[in-house]
Structure 1
Amino acid sequence: MTPEQAAVFKRSGWDGLVSSEAWLRGHGKWSRTIPYTINGVATREINALNNSIRIFDEHTCLRFIPKQDYNNDYIEFVSEGGCWSYVGKLNNASPQRISLSSGCHLAIPIHEIMHALGRYHEQSRADRDTYVRIITSNIRSGRESNFNKQTNSDSQSLPYDYLSLMHYSRYAFSKNGRPTIIPIPDASVTIGQSNRMSLYDIQHVNIRYCPERALRLVGGNGSYEGRVEVYWDERWGTVCDDYFGENDGRVICKYLGFPDVAATYRRARFGQGTGPIVMDDLRCAGNEYSPFACPMRTIGTHNCRHHEDASVMCKKNVRLVDGRNTSSYAVGRLEVYAEGHWGTVCDDLFDINDAHVVCRQLGYRTASHVYPCARYGRGTLPILMDDVQCTGGEAQITHCPSTPIGEHNCQHYEDVSVRCVN
């Protein structure tokens, strides 16, 4: 039985929530735009689903959109006996089902979507024995595996969250009405709820899927360089330069969507921050998917001052090709780097606001023109983005609403080109 198959079981209420923890390393990841369909789900559960989608829209970068004909991978919400989901994006997610049967209301759709996004149950964290005690003698026969620790997972350096929507209740899978999970050291702490996402639930999603809501580069000429700042405890703070080196910069740049690191800097190269110092003694190996997965001091502890703020310069993730690039202007066919590949952008819906974002990414002041219909030649790379709809204030074009990366209804004669100026 695969981990995905093992994650699916059919029960109602808390017993219907799939067995799991934080984010499982290696499980598939969705794009920021997730197509979906609804098939056979009752009205009450549809209303709960729609409310859940609004919450993701309000607090994260994820956008759930009705499936189009050209969408390959999508979620199908069905009613197939209980509340359940696979964990992470499957290799063949066309469709990937989430079951919302009778009783799967309140915030339970969020819980199941979180599983599909790759998150496991909170009490399965590798460090859970510090925070809860599992009473195996009270667990219903055959359900003991639901309380296993997941060693192949990542809590993303976030604190243990008793009030997570992903935490089992005190009596989950109880065979005798007695607790199966007791918090420690204070046994009276409330655990588990199905009403709303906690602050850390939101941060889990944003660290995994919305890097710009968790980390940013400040003070440079474009979004590709600057002082490293981390969003933590509802504030932006800095990273100390103790042990800070190329591997740390590489992880930071790739996490933010850039191809690689170009340079790392110590001693507040891009100015001193004013918020708390969030990370210290960062020691990435270079292959971690985010700096939150790297060895470091406990987040928020340090022995630094702001003159030690770390900075990076990343290799750019947009370019204008087959035109001309000077210090005063640049023009050419737009190519972007997204999800590990370079490719072109379709001109559908592309306007000056989208171009402004691109030009600032490149270090130019603004955009002056948008050219549709392959003005600077047809590209040969894959078409990566379509229906881009930036407001103009985004740090990167890949942060803008669009179709899922790589999915489109375009041909290369629709490749868009841009002119940037200072």
Structure 2
Amino acid sequence: MMLSPGVVVAELGSSAVLLNTGSPAAAYVSPTALGWLQGQPPAPEHHDQHAHCLTQWRSAGLVSSGHASTAPTGPSGSGALEAQAAGLTTLPGHPVLVVAMSDACGFCGQLTADLAANASCLARLNASVLLVDPTGTRLLGRSLYTPAYPGLTRLGQDAARQGTPTAVLLSPGRPPEVRTGFAEVSHALIALSGADPHATVVEAPTSCSVNVAAAPVDAVLTARVGGTRLGIAVRGPEARRIAEEATGAVPEDGYTPVTLTLERPETLHLLFRGGELLARARTPEALRQVLDSVLAGYARYATAERGEIPLLCGAAVREGGDAVLFPRGWMSDLVKHARQLDRAGWRLRPEPYTLLRTAPDTATLHLPGPDGTGRPGPAVTAVLTQAPETGPAPTRPRLLASIVNWIARPATTDAVHTLAAALRPVPVLAGTWQEAVTHLKRSDQADA
């Protein structure tokens, strides 16, 4: 078998993790399966297991058959949509983006919220954006004359068969282009607005982020961090003032998907990253401090130094100088218990990425030092991770494989191997976020 481009095998002792360095796809590799990847033929009693692994790895895009594919006899998928779009004759003399949407699609829900937040930008757009869903169509941007609607509507309906959101971009003098998925459709909207999609933060939404984004926002401010555009949605004048003071943010700087949201629904100031609660602050000054840390984290990631390994996970740091890592999915719940953790000596880091280095003398994982001199910061002394709700308890190698998959993409091969090797001696505790809170409070008592 052949590894797909960008896929690496990082060994975890006798087992390994098969990981795509360009996208968040990975698989645990047992000792037996590792032998197959190293060229050993499967034993007769393992033929079924071998076939199952190949099927799973191929479906995840981790391995290929190694054989040239047969060219299709006719257009299908994106090719069929492009051919259909090329056959349209009643098109205006400006770009048109036809977007297939669905009310049942969470990604479409986030896209709808981003479009609403960017309404003033879209009103000035020198292009038409036609949203097509099972209930009808909605036009944003420049107007379209009536004869164009039937063909464009059918195009959107057919595009929905590839999943939603899917878009077809029709530009005068250029062949049609199909954009699939939230990120690609967002990039098309950014480019149509005149901004740089490659210098704009576009983060995949979750069910929680759709809930946070559902309510209208007053404005989207564009912050520039590390040469990258980042959208901050604000609800209420106080939230807007905090965002403007912290970032010098510029409103209406092209289409900008919402990454951070500031609001004060009741007595507390809240800061969200997507649907992830990063802060519950009692004062504007406290929220400003957290926002400064978050924006600095984005800038730090954009200018990460050689040897630094960015992970999409949270970190809690203790005053004594050690740190524990935990899944990002726990962040909202742990933030709600931040006062308890603070009394136990633990501080949650709100940064969007956890940057790690290995100590040159011990290869121990640690956070960078706060002074920027390259000296080691708090050492990672444990990883807390989610246990499966059903089935047998996962083995330590399986847990390590899932933790290696926390690495931010795109990742370098060296970073993956370094992370896998450095994690091998680190204690890993599997459980729930509630058990994590209890563990952290007890660890402080044990050290007292």
Query: Same fold by TM (over 0.5)?
Result: no
In terms of fraction of residues, the more helix-rich structure is 2
Q: Which has the larger radius of gyration?
A: 2
TM-score normalised according to structure 1 size = 0.28
